[in-house]
Amino acid sequence: MTGFLIGAAVAVLLALALLLRPFFRKTSGGQLSQRQFNAAILRDQLAKLDQDVAEGTLSEADRAQARAELQRRALEDTREQDAVNTLRAPKKTMVAVSVLVPLAAVALYLLIGNPAGLTENAANPHQLANQQDLEKMVMALAAKMEKEPNNQKGWAMLARSYKVIGRNAEAEKAFERAGSFIDNDAQMLSAYADVMASNNGGTLIGKPAMLIQKALKADPDNPMALWLSGTADLEGKNYTAALRTWDRLAKLLPPGSDDARMLQGAIDDVRAKAGLPTQAPAPAVALGAAGGGNVTGTVELDPSLKGKAGPDDTVMIIARLPGSRMPIAAARLRAGDLPLKFVLDDSQSMNPASPISAAKEVEVEARISKTGMAKAEPGDLISSVQTVKVGASGVALRVAKVRP
């Protein structure tokens, strides 16, 4: 984050240098030279008048008139030079530009950028001081929003930024002012419900529950909305509904991931409270003859995207039935191991009752995610989707695009 801030500061300083450069140009040297030149001409003309009188080619009366005319012209030249010299650099304009350009840059980044990205490594003790920088930027955006009360998109961005820095009270107020802008954004609605519950002692009863249902209507597969919905059911001791919701969420999470293990622990707790037996591990399903019930291949990262993937990012290889949004099998690997080989078989099936070996063909794709969430997010690196027969080998997945 420090490198980013230094780079941004240098860019702003360069912009200011270009904008203010005309105000620092010195013109006094050129004006003094012009005045000296005019004075020299005047002296030569006066000397010529004296010479003409001495030679008898000019009368005293004509000389007096000509001398008066030369003096008048000299006076006008002096006044004109004085007027030019009174032009100074507009200090007020320079100060205004120097203040407004950096503020505008910060406000624009907070509005359309990713301030949350600046805190991804906040746990690093060498970067904790930069939390103050982020808070200053959030405050700058807050000041801007007070002047633009009808900018709902800006209020939504401010709400998300407040949530990132842990100021839930301010985040709730900003979400409220975002109004209808977030009505169809399941992630924003879920975040709104989350901060509202935090501000209300952790309870999801009431408006938070309404926001969660609104989020699920916008996106039935939003992981955060499903998690909060199950939590709300658990709070109301509706164990059956909580299990149904979390079982649905479990199918969206990569098998063996930290999120999947945490969710399974929560499901086991709910089953214990409801007096239900803990789910036993699913029995292994035999593969087809000669290993024909799997899909094997390789995943590689296009060189043009090498700088966008970290070694600890998650590589997910996902197989779906054609035309279906639900994965039938998925594998979760590390980006640091790229290029890598993969095998999708029944051990990675999302539902033991519907193993990949039972399918005739599947759609296969690879995705690199920084969060490891099952749901694709903007900024994920993705491959093209390939439709292959189950039993296919040598499937080459090349991650070459950024998800908008």
More confident of the two residues 318 and 120: 318
Give the 3-state secondary structure of residue 297: strand
Q: Into how many domains does the chain fold?
A: 1
What does the pLDDT read at residue 42?
A: 66
Q: What is the pLDDT of residue 401?
A: 93
Closest CA to 187 of 158, 166, 161, 218: 218
Give the residue-averaged pLDDT of 42-70. Answer: 71
Query: Which comes out higher in pLDDT, residue 229 or 119?
Result: 229
Q: Give a yes or no: residue 344 inside a domain.
A: yes
Can you list the alpha helix ranges (DSSP code H) found in 86-206? Answer: 91-112, 130-147, 152-164, 168-178, 186-199
| Portion of the chain with pLDDT greater than 90, in percent | 21
Contact 227, 216 (CB under 8 A): no
Instruction: Tell me what pLDDT residue 366 has.
Output: 95
Task: Please name which of 345, 340, 351 lies closest in space to residue 383, comparing C-alpha atoms.
Answer: 340
Mean pLDDT score, 33-61: 67
Residue 84's alpha-carbon distances to 35, 89, 176, in angstroms, are: 12, 12, 56
- Name the pLDDT band for 127 (thresholds 50, 70, 90): very low
Q: Which residue has the higher pLDDT, 386 or 271?
A: 386
Establish if 248 belongs to a structural domain.
no
- 4 domain residue, yes or no: no
**Cβ-contact 20, 94 below 8 angstroms:** yes
Q: How confident is the model at residue 371, as a pLDDT?
A: 77
Q: Where residue 79 falls among pLDDT bands split at 50, 70, 90?
A: low
User: What is the mean predicted confidence (pLDDT) over 246-259?
Assistant: 81
Q: Give the pLDDT mean for 288-310.
A: 80
DSSP strand pairing (395-402 vs 295-301): parallel
Helix (H) or strand (E) holding 334: strand 327-334
Q: How does residue 392 score in pLDDT terms, banded at 50, 70 and 90?
A: very high
**What tens digit of pLDDT does each residue of 302-355 get?**
999 988 888 888 899 999 998 877 788 888 888 988 999 999 988 877 777 778
pLDDT at 239 over 70: yes
Q: How high is the pLDDT of residue 228? A: 92
**CB-side neighbour CA atoms (13 Å) of 188:** 22
For the chain, the straight-line distance linking the first and the last C-alpha, in angstroms and rounded, comes to 23
Arithmetic mean of pLDDT, 130-149: 82
Q: What is the pTM of this model?
A: 0.42
Question: Domain for residue 139, yes or no?
Answer: no
Let me know if residue 333 belongs to a domain. yes
Q: Please, are residues 169 and 199 in contact by the beta-carbon 8 Å criterion?
A: yes
Tell me, yes or no, whether 109 lies in a domain.
no
Residue 311 lies in domain? 292-402
CATH number at residue 395: 2.60.40.1120
Q: Residues 143, 158: contact at Cβ < 8 Å?
A: no
331 lies in some domain: yes
Residue 110 CB-density burial (10 A; 0-12 exposed, 13-18 middle, 19+ buried): buried
Residue 381 burial (10 A CB sphere; 0-12, 13-18, 19+): buried
Residue 189 has pLDDT above 70, yes or no: yes
CA-wise closest residue to 267 among 225, 310, 233, 300: 233
180, part of any domain: no
Q: Is the model's pLDDT at 218 over the cut of 60?
A: yes
